[in-house]
Amino acid sequence: MHQRTQNPCEIIDRSPVSALQIRVLLLCFLILVMDGFDTAAIGYIAPELIRNWGIERAQLAPAFGAGLFGMLLGSFCFGPLADRLGRKSVLLICVLIFALGTLASALSPSIEVLAGLRCITGIGLGGVLPNCITLSSEYSPARRRMLLVTLSYSGFTLGLALGGGVAGALLPTVGWQGLLVIGGIAPLLLWPVLYFALPESVCFMANNPRHAVALRRIVERISGETDWQQVRFAGDAPASLGRSPLSALFSQGQMTRTLLLWLTFFCCLLVFYLLTSWLPTVLHASGYNTANAARISAMIPFGGVLGGIAMALLMDRIGALRILPWLCLGAAAALALTGSQLHGAVGTLVIVFLAGFSLTGTLNNLSVVAATLYPTASRATGVAWALAAGRAGSITGSMLGGWIFSNAGSLEHFFLWIATPALLAGLALGLMNRIRQKPQAEIEPTA
């Protein structure tokens, strides 16, 4: 009997969402909750380190910077590796690295040792996010991809926010070492579950004949059908398989889009890290007490969760690159107006919420867009290197914040300075929308 060829990603697109796909999205969500918690852990334990080690706040800078630099390295290294070895295999390695790195950090005797261990931890953290995004994207049907992957990605934002509540409740009891131990043990407990319950990407397996039997079993569970014995599964064009994953980012008309995507990530994460690092200080300078400053600052991640989900629903209908430029320009407008609202608590709360809704909402969906721009053989690399550009922006933002704060002249000008990169990101996204993309074999933008 003649054997027909079928792309498994097309089967996912036309089938109802199965229990297996929900399991993948839920496991990626849990991984990202822990990723977000361990990413933010250094910030939550900073006051304890200052008190216990008798150091100045400025002396913590190497530990903060080392973690961000490690994330940059992790994004650069583990994206191409995942395109070669598989998403699941690399994800398991990354979870193990950041779990053990966080545990080891609890034994740090000095800030220098902690900085080194935070760099190692950051390498694992930097590899987790792009692979979770890629895996959840490849298990999501095109008609609901933006929403499903954004819900999964929201685990990272939730982990950032959850860390504050957990730290506030447990730090007085367990200390900074105990908090890091919890941050390391939790992913270690999840690791065996991931090993046995998390499947490899169907898109990746379709291009690797040795996965044929496992792929057929997964397709049966997703489709609810068993008549796949006479079907040969294949992914995107074989021509892409012999090339370096990185080369696909700059070939076939992709160079301009890739560079614009990197610029957008750089600008958005520069603003996000600058804002989250310096907003409490700015609010204190405006007369807000610690409790009110924390409450207002929390609107950045909280608004982002709501913005990411709300916009994902819209993007699945209209198209991501038709919505994101306006969302990013909205962030620029909200940031530009923030300085003029600082005199009133309600006005400040509302404008910061709008900034979080639009800026963090853009970031939550931008990673999903990155996964739609590249074929299977280079998708993890594309997402990881875009996030690496964003990590470079986060490092720049954390370094520039103090300089801008000292040289802006006024708080109104401070926020105008911050709004400028957000404006540039909106323009870059607008240009991306105008550049025609060559169709991909499996995952296309929902526009």
pLDDT of residue 291: 66
More confident residue, 439 or 420: 420
User: Among 23-27, 190-194, 374-378, which stretch is predicted with the lowest mean pLDDT?
Assistant: 374-378
CB 349 within 8 A of CB 293: no
pLDDT of residue 65: 82
- Residue 400 token pair: 């520039």
pLDDT of residue 237: 52
Q: How confident is the model at residue 57 (pLDDT cuts 50, 70, 90)?
A: low
What would the pLDDT profile of 78-103 be if each residue is shown by its tens digit? 988 998 889 999 999 999 999 999 99
Q: How confident is the model at residue 444 (pLDDT cuts 50, 70, 90)?
A: very low
Token pair 């860390």 is at which residue?
Answer: 163
What would the pLDDT profile of 241-274 be if each residue is shown by its tens digit? 455 666 777 776 678 888 999 999 999 999 988 8
pLDDT mean over 32-46: 85
Q: How large a percentage of the chain has pLDDT more than 90?
A: 32
Mean pLDDT, the chain, as a whole number? 84
Is 0.85 surpassed by the pTM of this model? no
- Residue 125 token pair: 């953290």
More confident residue, 4 or 79: 79
pLDDT mean over 376-381: 84
pLDDT of residue 446: 38
Strand-pair partners of 231 = 4
More confident residue, 439 or 261: 261
More confident residue, 187 or 344: 187
What would the pLDDT profile of 277-319 be if each residue is shown by its tens digit? 778 767 877 888 766 776 787 788 778 878 888 888 888 888 8
